[in-house]
Amino acid sequence: MLGQQALKLKTKDDELKTKDDQLATRDDIIQQLELQNSELELAYNKLWRERFEARSERYIATRISCVWTLATPPMRLRG
């Protein structure tokens, strides 16, 4: 009777160790995927920021030149 209980406990202990190993492996995989995801997110944000800044600079330059053209009085020719 005592031998059977010890065997059941040993089997249960082995099952729990196996499950612990599986969980540890899954946790490692999740960490790797989260790291990869964060790296991709940073790269995406950098690309988006660079493209947005370039468009913003062109937009601002266009607006400034339009305002400058409107604000500058026309030149009169002397004749």
What is the DSSP track for 13-76? HHHHHHHHHHHHHHHHHHHHHHHHHHHHHHHHHHHHHHHHHHHHHHHHHHHHHHHHHHHSPPPP
Enter the pTM of the model.
0.54
Calculate Rg over the CA atoms of the chain: 34
In this predicted structure, the answer to whether residue 4 has a pLDDT above a threshold of 60 is yes
Q: What is the pLDDT of residue 2?
A: 78
Smallest CA-to-CA distance from 22 within 14, 32, 11, 34 is with 14
Q: Is residue 45 part of a domain?
A: yes
Look at the chain and report how many structural domains it folds into: 1
Asked if residue 52 is part of any domain, the answer here is yes
In a domain, 1, yes or no: no
Structure-block tokens of residue 22: 């599986």
Establish if 3 belongs to a structural domain.
Answer: no
Residue 56 scores a pLDDT above 80: no
6 within domain boundaries: no
Domain enclosing residue 43, as ranges = 21-68
- Report yes or no on 9 lying in a domain: no
Q: Which of 28, 9, 7 is nearest to 17 (CA)?
A: 9
Let me know if residue 43 belongs to a domain.
Answer: yes
In a domain, 5, yes or no: no
